[in-house]
């Protein structure tokens, strides 16, 4: 009788999927145009601005005024799509491609419950998630529990994708930091809008993989408690691009050559070390502990070929009071099979928050 190690099977599936996506010549690798030159230097200087030195610094963000259109409406629910100008400052806007200057959101909300008795969660994109559909399918069933879903289209993705970019394969390393920084700024503005204009009684932020890293950063920086729900997420992009499967889809030779322009001899190992140094800026353990760490729930996979267990546990250790829940599977299979667990985490995280006091 042949016994199959299911965990190893999930892990192998991740590697087969990764080999197909990142080692074949179907599409160019990540960062085929190098580091990004002066844009990368600008972002490295600006990243520290995310860490407020005093309580309340960088808050409130720019208040957005989305222009809405109704996609569909029933007796009990409504789906709208909105556009607004990115809330990044002018330095960041000048670094972003023009296609990314306009942000797009989908907003799925119940109609028969007042906002103050409704929660809303902002869903952020994982690598390659160019549309609203998957995240709307994740959030849709939560309408029955009076939980609205707001989905942000990431810069560099969907209609915000630069013309020369192929799929999710960012052209420069600076694009990865730009994508993250702009996503954080826009999400903070969306949460501010949901609070001040929407009047929602509770709020949360979630994301899968890369989106989970961004959700953790936003939850960390928010001045009041929000449910923070990173799914299948590392504590840092170093794990994904230097240690995990995505390292096979990275244009290391192009990065080495780009560095060699400034230096006569440059090895691949030096290029990899430079990448580790740059992506260490995305290490969420450097961020402040969220205001209510009990409302932080990580969902991680037991046999994830992209995200090792130690990476998830590092962030839980940095945020005492947070919870890790394990699902059986790999990165790809959990993404496909465990939406119910993700929804349960969203509900439980929101239940650990107090309802906002209604205005007098």
**Confidence grade of residue 313 (pLDDT, cut at 50, 70, 90):** very high
Residue 56 or 348, more confident: 348
Q: What is the mean pLDDT of residues 82-87?
A: 97
Where does the chain have alpha helices with state H?
6-22, 38-46, 90-95, 133-139, 173-196, 210-221, 237-238, 252-260, 268-279, 309-318, 331-337, 339-351
Residue 298 or 47, more confident: 298
Do 266 and 334 contact (CB within 8 A), yes or no?
no
| 4-27 pLDDT per residue, tens | 455 555 545 544 444 444 444 566
Q: What is the pLDDT of residue 22?
A: 46
**Confidence grade of residue 139 (pLDDT, cut at 50, 70, 90):** very high
| Residue 2 within a domain | no
Domain count, the chain: 1
| 54-83 pLDDT per residue, tens | 445 578 888 899 999 999 999 999 999 999
| Residue 14 within a domain | no
Q: Which domain holds residue 70?
A: 22-352
Q: What is the pLDDT of residue 18?
A: 45
| Residue 3 within a domain | no
Q: What is the pLDDT of residue 244?
A: 81
CATH number, domain containing residue 173? 3.40.50.1820
Q: What is the pLDDT of residue 60?
A: 85
Residue 309 or 53, more confident: 309
Residues 6+ apart with CB under 8 A from 116: 199, 200, 201, 355, 356, 358
Q: What is the pLDDT of residue 9?
A: 52
**Confidence grade of residue 162 (pLDDT, cut at 50, 70, 90):** very high
Phi, psi of 103 (to 5 degrees): -90, 150
The fraction of the chain above a pLDDT of 70, given in percent, is 88
Residues 6+ apart with CB under 8 A from 102: 83, 84, 85, 86, 160
Backbone dihedral region for residue 224 (phi beyond 0: left; psi -120 to 50: alpha; all else: beta): beta
Q: Say yes or no to pLDDT of 178 above 70.
A: yes
Residue 22 or 334, more confident: 334
Average pLDDT, the chain: 89
| Residue 11 within a domain | no
CA–CA separation, 259 and 237 (whole Å): 20
| 238-284 pLDDT per residue, tens | 999 998 888 889 999 999 999 888 666 689 999 999 999 999 999 99
Residue 45 or 267, more confident: 267
Backbone dihedral region for residue 36 (phi beyond 0: left; psi -120 to 50: alpha; all else: beta): left
Q: Say yes or no to pLDDT of 96 above 50.
A: yes
Q: What is the pLDDT of residue 12?
A: 52
Q: What is the pLDDT of residue 207?
A: 97
């Amino acid at each position: 009788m042949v016994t199959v190690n299911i965990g190893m099977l999930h892990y192998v599936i991740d590697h087969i999927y990764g080999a197909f996506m990142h080692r074949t010549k179907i599409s160019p690798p990540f960062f085929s145009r190098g580091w990004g030159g002066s844009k990368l230097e600008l972002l490295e200087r600006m990243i520290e601005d995310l860490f407020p030195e005093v309580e309340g610094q960088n808050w409130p963000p720019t208040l957005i005024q989305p222009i809405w259109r109704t996609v569909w409406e029933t007796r009990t629910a409504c789906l709208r799509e909105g556009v607004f100008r990115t809330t990044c400052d002018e330095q960041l806007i000048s670094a972003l491609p023009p296609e990314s200057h306009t942000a797009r959101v989908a907003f799925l909300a119940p109609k028969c419950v007042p906002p103050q008795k409704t929660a809303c969660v902002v869903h952020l994109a994982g690598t390659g998630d160019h549309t609203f559909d998957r995240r709307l399918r994740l959030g849709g069933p939560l309408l029955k529990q009076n939980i609205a879903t707001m989905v942000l289209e990431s810069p560099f993705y969907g209609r915000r994708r630069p013309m020369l970019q192929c799929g999710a394969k960012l052209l420069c390393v600076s694009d990865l930091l730009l994508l993250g920084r702009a996503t954080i700024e826009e999400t903070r503005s969306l949460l501010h809008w949901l609070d001040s204009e929407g009047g929602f009684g509770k709020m949360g932020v979630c994301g899968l993989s890369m989106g989970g890293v961004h959700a953790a950063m936003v939850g960390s920086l928010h001045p009041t408690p929000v449910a923070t729900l990173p799914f299948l997420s590392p504590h840092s992009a170093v794990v994904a691009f230097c240690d995990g499967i995505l390292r096979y889809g990275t244009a290391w030779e192009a990065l080495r050559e780009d560095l060699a322009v400034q230096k006569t001899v440059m090895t691949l190992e030096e290029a990899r070390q430079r990448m580790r140094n740059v992506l260490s800026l995305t290490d969420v353990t450097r961020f402040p502990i969220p205001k209510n760490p009990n409302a932080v729930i990580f969902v991680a996979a037991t046999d994830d070929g992209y995200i090792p267990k130690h990476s998830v546990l590092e962030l839980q250790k940095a945020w005492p009071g947070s919870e890790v829940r394990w699902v059986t599977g790999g990165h790809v299979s959990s993404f496909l099979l465990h939406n119910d667990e993700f929804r349960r985490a969203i509900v439980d995280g929101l239940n650990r928050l107090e309802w906002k006091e209604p205005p007098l």
